[in-house]
Amino acid sequence: MLPAQDVAAVQAATARYRAALAKIEADDEAGRATLINRLRRWLAQPRPTTTATSAAEESNRKRMAEVGAVYDATPAAHAVADIMPSSDAERDPATAGPTAANKWLTVSVEQSTSTVIASIFDEAVHRDPRHQRTWVVLVEGNGHQLDRIAAEACAREVTVSVVVDFVHVLGYLWKAAWCFFREADPAAEAWVAAKAREALRGHATAVAGAIRRTATNPP
Protein backbone atom coordinates (compact mmCIF):
# COMPACT_ATOMS: atom_id res chain seq x y z
CA MET A 1 0.00 0.00 0.00
CA LEU A 2 1.16 3.54 -0.73
CA PRO A 3 1.32 5.98 2.19
CA ALA A 4 -1.68 8.33 2.40
CA GLN A 5 0.36 11.34 1.28
CA ASP A 6 1.53 9.50 -1.85
CA VAL A 7 -2.02 8.42 -2.69
CA ALA A 8 -3.18 12.01 -2.35
CA ALA A 9 -0.33 13.22 -4.54
CA VAL A 10 -1.15 10.68 -7.26
CA GLN A 11 -4.83 11.61 -7.16
CA ALA A 12 -4.02 15.31 -7.38
CA ALA A 13 -1.68 14.76 -10.33
CA THR A 14 -4.27 12.64 -12.11
CA ALA A 15 -6.90 15.35 -11.66
CA ARG A 16 -4.54 17.96 -13.11
CA TYR A 17 -3.75 15.87 -16.16
CA ARG A 18 -7.38 14.96 -16.76
CA ALA A 19 -8.15 18.66 -16.83
CA ALA A 20 -5.29 19.18 -19.28
CA LEU A 21 -6.58 16.50 -21.65
CA ALA A 22 -9.36 18.75 -22.95
CA LYS A 23 -6.70 21.19 -24.08
CA ILE A 24 -4.29 18.60 -25.45
CA GLU A 25 -6.77 16.34 -27.28
CA ALA A 26 -6.88 18.55 -30.36
CA ASP A 27 -3.10 18.66 -30.69
CA ASP A 28 -0.95 16.39 -32.82
CA GLU A 29 1.67 13.91 -31.60
CA ALA A 30 3.63 16.76 -30.04
CA GLY A 31 0.76 17.33 -27.61
CA ARG A 32 0.74 13.68 -26.60
CA ALA A 33 4.52 13.72 -26.17
CA THR A 34 4.29 16.79 -23.96
CA LEU A 35 1.74 15.11 -21.69
CA ILE A 36 3.82 11.94 -21.40
CA ASN A 37 7.00 13.89 -20.62
CA ARG A 38 5.25 15.87 -17.89
CA LEU A 39 3.99 12.67 -16.31
CA ARG A 40 7.43 11.10 -16.47
CA ARG A 41 9.02 14.11 -14.79
CA TRP A 42 6.44 14.00 -12.03
CA LEU A 43 6.85 10.25 -11.53
CA ALA A 44 10.63 10.65 -11.39
CA GLN A 45 10.45 13.03 -8.42
CA PRO A 46 11.67 11.49 -5.15
CA ARG A 47 9.00 10.52 -2.64
CA PRO A 48 9.45 10.88 1.13
CA THR A 49 9.98 7.63 2.98
CA THR A 50 10.70 6.39 6.49
CA THR A 51 13.07 3.78 7.91
CA ALA A 52 10.03 1.64 8.71
CA THR A 53 9.26 1.07 5.03
CA SER A 54 10.08 -2.44 3.88
CA ALA A 55 12.02 -3.29 0.71
CA ALA A 56 8.85 -4.76 -0.83
CA GLU A 57 6.95 -1.53 -0.18
CA GLU A 58 9.77 0.49 -1.72
CA SER A 59 9.71 -1.62 -4.89
CA ASN A 60 5.94 -1.10 -5.18
CA ARG A 61 6.27 2.67 -5.14
CA LYS A 62 7.00 2.79 -8.87
CA ARG A 63 4.00 3.95 -10.87
CA MET A 64 3.79 3.90 -14.65
CA ALA A 65 1.45 6.16 -16.56
CA GLU A 66 -1.03 4.29 -18.75
CA VAL A 67 -1.61 6.23 -21.96
CA GLY A 68 -3.96 5.39 -24.81
CA ALA A 69 -5.39 7.07 -27.89
CA VAL A 70 -8.06 6.46 -30.49
CA TYR A 71 -7.98 8.29 -33.81
CA ASP A 72 -9.13 8.06 -37.41
CA ALA A 73 -6.65 7.70 -40.26
CA THR A 74 -6.64 6.89 -43.94
CA PRO A 75 -4.20 4.02 -44.63
CA ALA A 76 -0.99 4.94 -46.45
CA ALA A 77 0.94 2.24 -48.26
CA HIS A 78 4.65 2.15 -47.41
CA ALA A 79 7.72 0.44 -48.79
CA VAL A 80 10.58 -0.62 -46.53
CA ALA A 81 12.64 2.35 -47.78
CA ASP A 82 9.93 4.76 -46.62
CA ILE A 83 10.40 3.65 -43.03
CA MET A 84 14.03 2.58 -42.93
CA PRO A 85 15.93 4.03 -45.91
CA SER A 86 19.44 2.69 -46.45
CA SER A 87 20.70 5.88 -48.12
CA ASP A 88 19.87 9.55 -48.67
CA ALA A 89 18.71 8.64 -52.16
CA GLU A 90 16.02 6.40 -50.63
CA ARG A 91 15.17 8.89 -47.88
CA ASP A 92 14.36 11.88 -50.10
CA PRO A 93 11.33 10.41 -51.94
CA ALA A 94 9.94 8.65 -48.84
CA THR A 95 6.15 8.54 -48.60
CA ALA A 96 4.69 10.38 -45.62
CA GLY A 97 2.79 8.40 -43.01
CA PRO A 98 -0.96 8.66 -42.35
CA THR A 99 -2.31 11.70 -40.52
CA ALA A 100 -4.25 11.17 -37.30
CA ALA A 101 -7.63 12.91 -37.09
CA ASN A 102 -10.37 13.18 -34.45
CA LYS A 103 -7.95 12.10 -31.76
CA TRP A 104 -9.18 10.99 -28.34
CA LEU A 105 -6.63 10.60 -25.52
CA THR A 106 -6.64 9.03 -22.08
CA VAL A 107 -3.94 8.88 -19.43
CA SER A 108 -3.86 7.65 -15.85
CA VAL A 109 -1.39 6.89 -13.09
CA GLU A 110 -4.14 5.24 -11.04
CA GLN A 111 -5.95 2.89 -13.41
CA SER A 112 -4.59 -0.46 -14.50
CA THR A 113 -3.58 -1.46 -18.02
CA SER A 114 -6.77 -3.52 -18.25
CA THR A 115 -8.99 -0.55 -17.36
CA VAL A 116 -7.27 1.82 -19.78
CA ILE A 117 -7.42 -0.68 -22.66
CA ALA A 118 -11.11 -1.30 -21.93
CA SER A 119 -11.76 2.46 -22.13
CA ILE A 120 -9.92 2.60 -25.45
CA PHE A 121 -12.15 -0.14 -26.85
CA ASP A 122 -15.20 1.66 -25.45
CA GLU A 123 -14.26 4.75 -27.47
CA ALA A 124 -13.59 2.69 -30.60
CA VAL A 125 -16.98 0.97 -30.29
CA HIS A 126 -18.62 4.37 -29.84
CA ARG A 127 -17.13 5.43 -33.19
CA ASP A 128 -17.80 2.19 -35.01
CA PRO A 129 -20.60 0.30 -33.20
CA ARG A 130 -21.23 -2.07 -36.13
CA HIS A 131 -17.53 -2.84 -36.66
CA GLN A 132 -17.62 -1.75 -40.28
CA ARG A 133 -14.21 -0.11 -40.25
CA THR A 134 -10.71 -1.58 -40.09
CA TRP A 135 -9.38 -1.61 -36.51
CA VAL A 136 -5.61 -1.38 -36.05
CA VAL A 137 -4.01 -1.45 -32.60
CA LEU A 138 -0.51 -0.01 -32.19
CA VAL A 139 1.36 -1.48 -29.22
CA GLU A 140 4.83 -1.59 -27.74
CA GLY A 141 4.86 -5.38 -27.48
CA ASN A 142 4.22 -5.88 -23.75
CA GLY A 143 2.80 -9.37 -23.18
CA HIS A 144 0.11 -8.35 -20.68
CA GLN A 145 -0.92 -5.48 -22.96
CA LEU A 146 -1.35 -7.91 -25.87
CA ASP A 147 -3.35 -10.32 -23.70
CA ARG A 148 -5.76 -7.58 -22.64
CA ILE A 149 -6.21 -6.37 -26.21
CA ALA A 150 -7.02 -9.91 -27.35
CA ALA A 151 -9.49 -10.32 -24.49
CA GLU A 152 -11.29 -7.04 -25.25
CA ALA A 153 -11.46 -7.82 -28.97
CA CYS A 154 -12.87 -11.27 -28.26
CA ALA A 155 -15.45 -9.94 -25.78
CA ARG A 156 -16.64 -7.34 -28.28
CA GLU A 157 -16.48 -9.73 -31.24
CA VAL A 158 -14.33 -7.39 -33.30
CA THR A 159 -11.32 -8.26 -35.45
CA VAL A 160 -8.21 -6.16 -34.80
CA SER A 161 -4.84 -6.05 -36.51
CA VAL A 162 -2.02 -5.61 -34.01
CA VAL A 163 1.04 -3.62 -35.09
CA VAL A 164 4.10 -3.38 -32.86
CA ASP A 165 5.64 0.10 -32.78
CA PHE A 166 8.75 -0.08 -35.00
CA VAL A 167 10.85 1.89 -32.50
CA HIS A 168 10.24 -0.87 -29.96
CA VAL A 169 10.98 -3.53 -32.58
CA LEU A 170 14.39 -1.94 -33.12
CA GLY A 171 14.96 -1.92 -29.37
CA TYR A 172 14.18 -5.63 -29.12
CA LEU A 173 16.51 -6.37 -32.04
CA TRP A 174 19.36 -4.43 -30.41
CA LYS A 175 18.88 -6.39 -27.19
CA ALA A 176 19.13 -9.61 -29.18
CA ALA A 177 22.17 -8.35 -31.10
CA TRP A 178 24.25 -7.99 -27.96
CA CYS A 179 23.74 -11.68 -27.30
CA PHE A 180 25.61 -12.46 -30.53
CA PHE A 181 28.11 -9.61 -30.90
CA ARG A 182 30.71 -7.98 -28.69
CA GLU A 183 29.92 -4.52 -27.39
CA ALA A 184 30.53 -1.77 -29.99
CA ASP A 185 31.01 -4.34 -32.77
CA PRO A 186 30.00 -2.49 -35.99
CA ALA A 187 28.67 -5.77 -37.40
CA ALA A 188 25.82 -5.56 -34.87
CA GLU A 189 24.34 -2.53 -36.61
CA ALA A 190 24.31 -4.27 -39.99
CA TRP A 191 22.69 -7.33 -38.36
CA VAL A 192 19.96 -5.22 -36.73
CA ALA A 193 19.31 -3.33 -39.96
CA ALA A 194 18.95 -6.55 -41.95
CA LYS A 195 16.57 -8.12 -39.41
CA ALA A 196 14.54 -4.90 -39.16
CA ARG A 197 14.07 -4.68 -42.92
CA GLU A 198 12.98 -8.31 -43.06
CA ALA A 199 10.40 -7.59 -40.36
CA LEU A 200 9.14 -4.60 -42.35
CA ARG A 201 8.74 -6.83 -45.39
CA GLY A 202 6.21 -8.85 -43.40
CA HIS A 203 8.54 -11.63 -42.24
CA ALA A 204 8.52 -10.81 -38.51
CA THR A 205 7.69 -14.39 -37.49
CA ALA A 206 10.57 -15.75 -39.56
CA VAL A 207 12.95 -13.17 -38.07
CA ALA A 208 11.94 -14.10 -34.53
CA GLY A 209 12.31 -17.80 -35.32
CA ALA A 210 15.78 -17.32 -36.80
CA ILE A 211 16.94 -15.37 -33.75
CA ARG A 212 15.55 -18.04 -31.44
CA ARG A 213 17.33 -20.81 -33.34
CA THR A 214 20.62 -18.91 -33.32
CA ALA A 215 20.32 -18.35 -29.58
CA THR A 216 19.64 -22.02 -28.83
CA ASN A 217 22.03 -23.44 -31.43
CA PRO A 218 24.93 -20.99 -31.78
CA PRO A 219 27.25 -21.52 -34.75
Per-residue model confidence as pLDDT tens digits over 161-217: 999 999 999 999 999 999 999 988 989 999 999 999 999 999 999 999 999 998 888
What is the pLDDT at residue 58? 46
| Contact residues for 185 (Cβ-Cβ < 8 A; gap 6+) | none
What is the pLDDT at residue 57? 45
Is 176 within a domain? yes
What is the pLDDT at residue 38? 64
The answer to whether 66 and 111 have CB atoms below 8 angstroms apart is: yes
**Domain span at residue 176?**
169-216
Is 194 within a domain? yes
What is the pLDDT at residue 19? 62
Is 186 within a domain? yes
Is 175 within a domain? yes
pLDDT under 70 in the chain at which residues?
1-63, 219
Is 144 within a domain? no
Q: Quote the number of domains for the chain.
A: 1
Is 210 within a domain? yes
Is 178 within a domain? yes
Residue 54, CA distances (Å) to 3, 49, 57 in order: 12, 10, 5
What is the pLDDT at residue 94? 80
The answer to whether 68 and 116 have CB atoms below 8 angstroms apart is: yes
What is the pLDDT at residue 196? 94
CA nearest to 72, candidates 124, 122, 120: 124
Task: Output the pTM of the full model.
Answer: 0.65
Is 13 within a domain? no
What is the pLDDT at residue 25? 57
What is the pLDDT at residue 129? 95
What is the pLDDT at residue 89? 84
What is the pLDDT at residue 51? 41
